[in-house]
Amino acid sequence: MNLRILPAPAGTGVVFRRVDLDDFEIEAVGRNVARVSYATSLQKKGVLISTTEHLLSAFIGIGLDNAIVELDNLELPILDGSAKPFVDLVLQAGLKQQRKKRSYLKILRELEVREGNKSIAVYPAAGYSVAYNINFARPIGEQSFEIDLSRDLYRKDVAAARTFGFLREEQAMRNMGLIRGATEENVIVLTETGVKNGPLRFPDEFVRHKVLDLIGDLALLGKQILGRIVADRAGHAMHTALVARLLRDRSLWIETTEAGETPAQGEQRGEPAQLAPQA
């Protein structure tokens, strides 16, 4: 499995390119969301790309707007189960500031998606922040975490949080064709009594990873958000349902190049400009 991240012109967004299928391209936008269960997949004209959320989260976290992502497989590599390897890879290559201003999706009105005791909502705000609450069976229990993405906190507080799973669910998931690349090197494995392959990178690594996933799924809006997201026991399906609802109702938001009261993540100079990987 090979993956390569290439620069793209301003205004391109993130585009996946299947080099094993005649360079077929799939844009990382809400209309191409295929199925969501334990990961988020994109599909266009029958061509599938799976497990996009960690890479897209990394791009939002470091302020990367435009890139071509080449891969020769239907599934992105899981690497260590977090977004950190993607962050490190791009920052090692460097980011190039482009001439076109960054465009934001500014939330104007509250929107809530609810399913039983699960919910996800978005509210108007000057910057971009995410608050998440989870409540799993032991040994996780209830955890909450909040981050202001308008500040340079993603790399320190979110990027390294790894995906996790319960050992008792492993065989059923493999029978469904899921978690094919999962090992104890890239997944936090949970037993009835605790973490099988510790130590954890954060005491609350589980909820931080849910925040990481949410940021990646919301990247499918195609633009960085100016708004506050609050999620309670949500998951990929609810994340992408919020994306679909927002894209369907244009009265909920406007497109703007004004970044708000605080600088956008990854921007230290002047007006917020779009960023792409260095060639």
pLDDT at position 91, please? 96
Residue 170 is predicted with a pLDDT of 57
Residue 236 among the catalytic residues? yes
The confidence score (pLDDT) of residue 180 equals 60
**Cβ-contact 177, 84 below 8 angstroms:** no
User: Using an 8 Å Cβ cutoff, are 189 and 165 in contact?
Assistant: yes
User: What is the pLDDT, as a whole number, of residue 116?
Assistant: 94
Name 1's Cβ contacts closer than 8 Å, sequence gap at least 6.
Answer: 71, 72, 73, 75, 77
In the set 54, 209, 236, 239, the catalytic residue is 236
Going from N- to C-terminal start, the domains of the chain cover: 3-277
* The predicted structure's pLDDT at residue 105: 97
Q: Please name which of 66, 24, 67 lies closest in space to residue 49, comparing C-alpha atoms.
A: 24
* Assigned architecture for domain 3-277: 2-Layer Sandwich (3.30)
- pLDDT tens for the chain, 279 residues: list them: 899 999 999 999 999 999 999 999 999 999 999 976 678 999 999 999 999 999 999 999 999 999 999 999 999 999 999 999 999 999 999 999 999 999 999 999 999 999 999 999 999 999 999 999 999 988 899 999 999 998 889 999 999 999 988 766 655 555 555 556 667 788 898 888 889 988 999 999 999 999 999 999 999 999 999 999 999 999 999 999 999 999 999 999 999 998 865 443 333 334 578 999 997
Outline where DSSP puts E strands in the chain: 3-6, 14-18, 24-27, 33-36, 40-44, 47-49, 67-71, 95-101, 104-107, 111-115, 118-123, 128-135, 142-148, 164-166, 188-190, 224-232, 253-256, 273-277
- What DSSP character marks residue 224? E
